Structure 1
Amino acid sequence: MTEEEKKLLSTFEARLRHLIYLHDELKRENAELKQLLERKKEENAKVWSDYKILETNYTNLKTATTISLNGSDVKETKLRLSKLVREVDKCIALLNE
């Protein structure tokens, strides 16, 4: 093997080692990003769950407030109760299917 071939082989080996190093770094970064994505998905699911609970609580509070009015807004109370009855009817219809 000539001196030039040895030099070329040495350069090739150095570049190959560098590429392997870069590959390992990208694999590590990819694994970290996957973990971060998973944590963010879990956070998002928790926030969504909290949102749903708060939305339900708000709806219940609004219903209780509407019902507890002293007759000042009877029309709104009737509309709200009608809506609740329709929702219950829909649920019963779904259960009967």
Structure 2
Amino acid sequence: MESAEKRLNTFSTRVRQLIIQYQELKNENADLYTMVDERDIKIKQLEEQLDLAKKSYESLKIARMIEVSDTDMESAKKRLSKLIRDVNKCLTLLSEK
């Protein structure tokens, strides 16, 4: 009898331990899903910002090219190069986030 009770107690203890481990893993899994959802939202926001920056860059590029006359071509090229570098920096910063 004692042996059967001892086995039953051991079995019972192990089942409780498994239940506790299951609950811990379930909570960890829920936390990980929450993190993934938050990252997805952040990625979507950054993609929207990047699209907006690209559109603004294209508009600015067109506006600057229209503004340029033959005599101002060299200074316009320099301004455009600087603008491109600035936009590239912005895009790099956005992609790092």
What is the TM-score with the length of structure 1 in the denominator?
A: 0.71
Partner of 1:89: none
The 5-angstrom pairing of residues 68-87 of structure 1 reads 68-71=67-70
Q: Which runs of 4+ in 1 moved over 6 A?
A: none
Q: Distance in 1 between matches of 2:27 and 2:71?
A: 65
Q: Distance in 1 between matches of 2:52 and 2:14?
A: 57
Could you say which structure has the greater relative contact order, defined with CA pairs below 8 angstroms and 6 or more residues apart?
2
Partner of 2:45: 46
Deviation at 1:67? 1.2
Deviation at 1:14? 0.3
Pairwise CA RMSD of aligned residues? Answer: 1.4
The one-letter code matched in structure 1 to 2:61 is: K
1:37 to 2:52 alignment:
no
Q: Distance in 1 between matches of 2:71 and 2:12?
A: 87
Identity %: 30
Q: Distance in 2 between matches of 1:59 and 1:72?
A: 23
Structure 1: which 5+ residue stretches go unaligned?
Answer: 75-97
Partner of 1:83: none
Who wins on radius of gyration, i.e. which is larger?
A: 1
What is the TM-score with the length of structure 2 in the denominator?
A: 0.71
The one-letter code matched in structure 2 to 1:56 is: K
What is the aligned length?
A: 73
SS in 1 for 2:51: helix
Deviation at 1:66? 1.1
Q: Distance in 2 between matches of 1:33 and 1:42?
A: 14
